[in-house]
Structure 1
Amino acid sequence: MTSESLQPEGAPARRTVVAAVGATGFALVLGACGAGEASDDGSGGGTGGAGAAAGSGDAVLAKTSDIPEGGGKVFAAQGVVVTQPVKGRFQAFSSKCTHQGCAVNRVADGVIACPCHHSEFSATDGSVKKGPATRPLPAKDISVTGEEIRLA
């Protein structure tokens, strides 16, 4: 006689219960690992001097001299693009295109470009300059202290 045959009719098998408890615990651990990370909901600032992005560990993202005036730089590992639309003013946006989630790959002449479907965004405010994207790039918070740019 097996242990499963001793189960009341309609009750879940012991394996099912153990698997469900394990999956729930795993989900809780993963949720805790991601807690506090910045979202891409567009509510972040993005102007120089704004707070610091959660999960950045206060690491320096770049030096101000790394970001060309009128252009910018994509930081793929951090999922952010930092621009300097005018001298001394730094902006940051998600590097994930709002059309289908491809990563933008370059910034030039005031435009952030996505290679997948050729959407273009303003390096000043992340707004759509050319579709197929219809939503702007969400702003990311950065702080600029001296020569250091950090994710907020």
Structure 2
Amino acid sequence: MERRDFVSNLSMVLALACAGGLAACSKSSSDAPDPGNGGGGGNNAKLTADLGSELLNTGSFKIGGGVILIRIAAGNTASSFAALSSTCTHQGCTVATFNSSSNLIECNAPCGHGSRYTTTGAVQTGPATNPLTKMTIAISGNTLTVS
């Protein structure tokens, strides 16, 4: 194999790997894209959820508008949810998922450093050393608003 072919093939592999990492970052518990502010919560709303159709089960989550919102208990009260900044405090990327088996928020793509946080925002596993910022939750009827 000539050097030019090798470099060309290597570039293609790296481009595909980067595209895969970006696709992993966009994963959420909903198939519908989330524009962040779904309205109904005033101009300070970072994220809204319709509790009649979203986050119905404990462990379900939604990421958008700089927030990760997790249902941690049954019932439609603010204490049944955790709302935290979705920005990892280690490298500033968006956390990738909530693992309902371990009850940990995971930042594993694209940063790849593996920091994990509890639903209170505390660091469970580094290299991150600072907690995720807690957000304010308000519920009116079936509409949950995070600000």
TM-score (norm 1): 0.56
Q: How many residues align?
A: 96
> Do structure 1's residue 134 and structure 2's residue 121 form an aligned pair?
no
Verify: 1:108 aligned to 2:99, yes or no.
Answer: yes
Query: Could you say which residue in structure 2 is the equivalent of 1:121?
Result: 117
The answer on whether the counterparts of 1:53 and 1:151 sit within 8 Å (CA) in structure 2 is no
For 2:60 and 2:132, the matched residues in 1 are separated by: 16
Identity among equivalent pairs (%): 34
- What do residues 93-149 of structure 1 show as CA deviations (whole Å, max 9, x unaligned)? 0000011111002112121111221111112x1111111111110001121222211
Equivalent in 42, 48, 54 of residue 61 of structure 1: 48
Answering whether residue 73 of structure 2 is matched by residue 86 of structure 1, we say yes
CA contact (8 A) 2:123 2:130 kept: yes
Offset of residue 61 of structure 1: 1.1
Gaps of 5+ in 1: 1-51
Residues 1:96 and 2:70 are matched in the alignment: no
Q: Could you tell me whether the CA contact under 8 Å between 1:93 and 1:137 is conserved in 2?
A: yes
Q: What is the CA–CA distance in structure 2 between the aligned matches of 1:53 and 1:128, rounded to whole Å?
A: 31
Instruction: Give the direction of change, closer, same or farther, for the CA distance of 1:60–1:106 in structure 2 (3 Å limit).
Output: closer
Helix, strand or coil: the match of 1:66? coil
- The CA deviation at 1:53 is 8.1
CA distance in 2, matches of 1:53, 1:126: 25
State the structure with bigger RCO (CA 8 A, min sep 6), 1 or 2: 1
| CA distance 1:84–1:94, change in 2 (3 Å) | same
Q: For 2:82 and 2:121, how far apart are their aligned partners in 1?
A: 9
